[in-house]
A and B are shown apart, each in its own frame.
Chain A
């Protein structure tokens, strides 16, 4: 028996999200009295692999193959399923991110294992396994029971946190069997922004709505995000109008995010928008309309003109940073 974690790497490095699911797996394994095996796919140096031990991996499997540089859903899910079988895993854990969404369902079919995506807490019971997940796009939670011998959990980002729990972390090479059919997609071009903090990774997100009045007014918002080390986002009307790229849209049909701090500037707070940010630990809203529904969801609010409040915020943060 074991708990298997798929740890994605980004250009050979792990991130906070990888450590979070490991920390979570450790807690689950301790409850079940079993071990944690971390699985890495692609080229990662041993030093980096060893970092997984800090967060609770008893064993680290590394499947490296030159064909595994880009995400190939069929190959990756096949490797994970084979590792789960080898490790006799009773729980498999993914991050509920782009990759997790693309491969966890395939693994679920391969292993005939019930999958619960969007999990926000540790299981409330283990036999049968019962977990809490987001439902209705953040407007509610559901408790889901998994009846199968192997269970798959895809954990929502920033819902558990990272905790250290050093284990031995023996690194082993893993040699899966792969078919030609597992490699039918080909990445022809990659276009990555490397100098910016990712919206889905960010601890702090500064977001603008229609109240920003136009794309030309985004400079102070970006400055604010930079000062706070955060990412920028926007509401649906803003991306629909083309003021900002689609990737920045947070809300029910855009990205669902759960940063520590979400700052909503000129966002009225439509129910669909709130659904996308309700997982945020703290919400700050600035809006000129004191009746805006965003204030019902916010922890801190300023009723005022963005033209004045944004520069004031910027200088307040600069001052704060000096102290």
Chain B
């Protein structure tokens, strides 16, 4: 066993920390308030190679391991999860999906610009009536010989407005239920694609979330990923990896809030002494710290499983479940430790608390994670 990070992993962690602490922090509150997309920051994210850090060098990526990805996601999420979610979706859902299951032509055409960050990807699975239960896809893809015809609506799409390469799940053979689902690569701007209004969210307000409508959208045959009917499996396998990203995001939100609370408790005085000297606060900090460390181990273990070619569906589900629950609890306590200051925007913790909530919901709710975990342990 070895708990030490390699020199390279430490360098990546530091690079992400510098980027977050020097650049993202400057306007994060304002961007969140105005729900303003971090255009410049995403450009910088691309230049630094974070948007395709998991993609192999052969396809213009960074060729980094998942451990490094967890470290980078944590550092960026300590400051701004609107930015880290863009990175997460692009890396672990879209790039990974194409790299793992796409054809050479698809990789050449779509993966490379995505890995360089020239283009941003979006993952279109959720529907107005199909969230946690992804088997019930109402979007259809009718086989028309040399192309498919897409119809339907996708909801809650991260990078929905700015993304230009979509991975769309749609039902081709309704009679086969989830085994009839396929995944297609669709380019933004294809006739029949309409982007819905920007969702006004509670947290991660500057990431752009939209619904996307398909009306008789022609998709060439060669844009299907995998063999006919592979779509559901594709989505599930891709989401297993996506969970590691969101788990790391939750970890970052929690540790960002904890660091602020720790600092504050050492400065703020009440009843004649720094509040960290009061056991009520000191114990809270101990509990927060312990749970964050546990989240970190979960995240790194899932990443390690993935890097070592081991099954990681269960470990990533546990990481996401535990880290997101921890994030929600830790951020709430961080606000509490800050008292009135915690409830105003300037102190960041209320924003982190709003961001934490989403980690319990997207890319599989806490309940879905428990479902995944329980299926695994009951079948082992």
Nearest chain B residue, comparing its CB with the CB of A237:
B26
Chain A-chain B contacts (Cβ-Cβ < 8 Å), number: 4
Chain A residues with CB under 8 A of B222: none
> How many angstroms between the C-alpha atoms of A293 and B264 in the bound complex?
10
Chain B residues with CB under 8 A of A291: 264, 267-268
Nearest CB of chain A from residue B79's CB, rounded to whole Å: 16
> How many angstroms between the C-alpha atoms of A291 and B269 in the bound complex?
8
Chain B, interface size: which category? Answer: under 10
Chain A residues with CB under 8 A of B264: 291
> How many angstroms between the C-alpha atoms of A43 and B37 in the bound complex?
62
> How many angstroms between the C-alpha atoms of A218 and B264 in the bound complex?
29
Instruction: Identify whether the interface residues of B are mostly helix, strand, loop, or mixed.
Output: helix
Task: Flag A93-136 by CB within 8 Å of B: 1 or 0 each.
Answer: 00000000000000000000000000000000000000000000
> How many angstroms between the C-alpha atoms of A291 and B342 in the bound complex?
13
> How many angstroms between the C-alpha atoms of A293 and B267 in the bound complex?
7
Chain A residues with CB under 8 A of B267: 291, 293
Nearest chain B residue, comparing its CB with the CB of A291:
B267
Task: Flag A203-226 by CB within 8 Å of B: 1 or 0 each.
Answer: 000000000000000000000000
Nearest CB of chain B from residue A225's CB, rounded to whole Å: 28
> How many angstroms between the C-alpha atoms of A291 and B264 in the bound complex?
8
Nearest chain A residue, comparing its CB with the CB of B268:
A291
> How many angstroms between the C-alpha atoms of A157 and B267 in the bound complex?
32
Chain A residues with CB under 8 A of B268: 291
Nearest CB of chain B from residue A33's CB, rounded to whole Å: 52
> How many angstroms between the C-alpha atoms of A51 and B267 in the bound complex?
50
Nearest CB of chain B from residue A137's CB, rounded to whole Å: 20
> How many angstroms between the C-alpha atoms of A293 and B268 in the bound complex?
10
Nearest chain A residue, comparing its CB with the CB of B22:
A240
> How many angstroms between the C-alpha atoms of A83 and B267 in the bound complex?
54
> How many angstroms between the C-alpha atoms of A291 and B268 in the bound complex?
6
Nearest CB of chain A from residue B14's CB, rounded to whole Å: 17
> How many angstroms between the C-alpha atoms of A293 and B269 in the bound complex?
12
Task: Flag B248-278 by CB within 8 Å of A: 1 or 0 each.
Answer: 0000000000000000100110000000000
Chain B residues with CB under 8 A of A293: 267
Offer 4 A-B interface pairs, CB within 8 angstroms, sorted by A: A291-B264, A291-B267, A291-B268, A293-B267
Instruction: Give 4 nearest A-B pairs by CB, closest first.
Output: A291-B267, A291-B268, A293-B267, A291-B264
